[in-house]
Structure 1
Amino acid sequence: MKALQYRTIGAAPEVVEVETPEPGPGQVRLKVTAAGVCHSDSFIMSLPEEQYIYGLPLTLGHEGAGVVDKLGDGVTGLEVGTSVAVYGPWGCGHCYACAQGHENYCERAGELGIAPPGLGAPGAMAEYMIVDDPRHLVPLGDLDPVQNVSLTDAGLTPYHAIKGSVAKLVPGSVAVVIGAGGLGHVGIQILRAISPATVVALDLSEHKLELATDVGAHHAFLSDESAVEKVRALTGGRGATAVFDFVGMQPTMDLGAKMVAVGGDQVMVGVGTGSLPVGFLDRPFESQVRAPYWGYRSELFEVLDLARTGAVHVETEVFSLDDAPKAYEKLHDGTLRGRAVIVP
Structure 2
Amino acid sequence: MQAARLHEYTEDMSQALTVEEIDRPEITRSDGVVIEVEGAGWCQTDNHIIEGMWTDYVEQDLPMTLGHENAGEVVEVGEEVDLVGEGDKVICHPVMTCGKCRPCRLGQDMYCENLEFPGLTTDGGFAEYLFTSERSVIPLPEGVDTTDIAPHADAGITAYHAVKKADRELNPGDHAVVIGVGGLGHIGLQCLEAMSPVTITAIDLKEEARELAEELGAHHTVDPTSESVADAIDEITDGVGAQQVIDFVGRDETTAYGPDITAAGGDHHIVGYGGHVHQPSQTLVNGEFAYRGTLVGEYTELQELVALVERGDVELRTSRYDLDDVNTVAERLEHGEIEGRAVITP
Work out whether residues 9 and 49 of structure 1, in 8 Å CA contact, stay in contact via their aligned partners in 2.
no
Report the TM-score when normalising by structure 2.
0.93
1:194, CA displacement in angstroms?
A: 0.2
Aligned-pair CA distance for 1:278: 5.8
Structure 1 counterpart of 2:137: 137
1:319 paired with 2:321, answer: yes
Alignment partners' CA distance in 2, 1:128 and 1:262: 49
1:286 paired residue number: 288
Seen in structure 2, the aligned counterparts of structure 1 residues 71 and 291 have a Cα distance that, compared at 3 Å, is same
Count of aligned pairs between the two proteins:
338
Structure 1 residues 265-323: Cα deviation after superposition (integer angstroms, max 9, x where no partner): 11111122312436345554122221121101111110000001100011001111122
Q: Percent identity?
A: 38
Equivalences for residues 253-264 of structure 1 within 5 A: 253-264=255-266
Aligned CA RMSD, in angstroms, stands at 1.8
The alpha-carbon deviation at position 53 of structure 1 amounts to 3.8
For structure 1, the 5+ residue unaligned runs are none
Among residues 99, 102, 109, which one is paired with 1:96 in the alignment? 102
* Letter of the structure 2 residue corresponding to residue 5 of structure 1: R
Paired amino acid for 2:67: G
- Matching residue within 36, 43, 46 for 1:38: 43
- Equivalent position of 2:25 in the other structure: 21
What are the ranges of 5 or more consecutive residues in structure 2 without an aligned counterpart? Answer: none
The question of 1:72 aligning with 2:73 is answered no
Please say if residues 40 and 150 of structure 2, whose CA atoms lie closer than 8 Å, have aligned partners that are also in contact.
yes
Residues 220-245 of structure 1: CA deviation (Å, up to 9, x unaligned): 21235612111111111011111111
Letter in 1 for 2:174: S
Q: Distance in 2 between matches of 1:284 and 1:334?
A: 36
| Partner deviation per Cα, 1:44-77 (whole Å, 9 max, x = no partner) | 2122797484221121111000111011343334
**CA distance in structure 1 between the aligned counterparts of 2:280 and 2:263, rounded to whole angstroms:** 15
User: What is the match of residue 183 of structure 1?
Assistant: 184
Corresponding residue SS for 2:281: coil
Task: Return the letter of the residue paired with 1:199.
Answer: I
Residue 28 of structure 2 aligns with an amino acid whose one-letter code is G
Q: CA–CA distance in 1 between the matches of 2:190 and 2:83?
A: 34
Aligned CA distance change for structure 1 residues 157 and 278 (closer, same or farther; 3 Å): farther
1:226 corresponds to which residue? 228
Question: For the Cα contact (< 8 Å) 1:37–1:341, is it kept in 2?
Answer: yes
Which deviates more, 320-329 or 80-89?
320-329
Q: What secondary structure, in the 3-state scheme, does the structure 2 residue paired with 1:169 have?
A: coil
Moved more, 69-78 or 314-323: 69-78
Q: Which 4+ stretches in 1 moved above 3 angstroms?
A: 48-53, 280-284
Deviation at 1:14, TM superposition (A): 2.0
Distance in 1, matches of 2:186 and 2:310, equals: 18
Amino acid at match of 1:22: E
What letter matches 1:63 in structure 2? E
Q: Is 1:47 aligned to residue 52 of structure 2?
A: yes
- Cα gap change, 1:330/1:281 in structure 2, threshold over 3 Å: closer, same or farther? closer
State the Cα deviation string for residues 250-279 of structure 1 (Å, max 9, x = none).
Answer: 111002231111011111111223124363
| Matched residue, 1:239 | 241
Cα distance in 2 for residues equivalent to 1:278 and 1:294: 28
**Residue identity in the other structure for 2:25:** P
Judged with a 3 Å threshold, the aligned counterparts in structure 2 of structure 1 residues 79 and 90 are, in CA distance, closer, same or farther, namely: closer
Post-superposition Cα deviations, 1:181-218, rounded to whole Å, max 9, x if no partner, equal 11111000000000011111111222222222222222
User: What one-letter code is carried by the residue in structure 2 that aligns with 1:56?
Assistant: L
- In structure 1, distance between residues paired with 2:156 and 2:127: 22
Kept after mapping to 2: 8 A contact 1:260/1:284: no
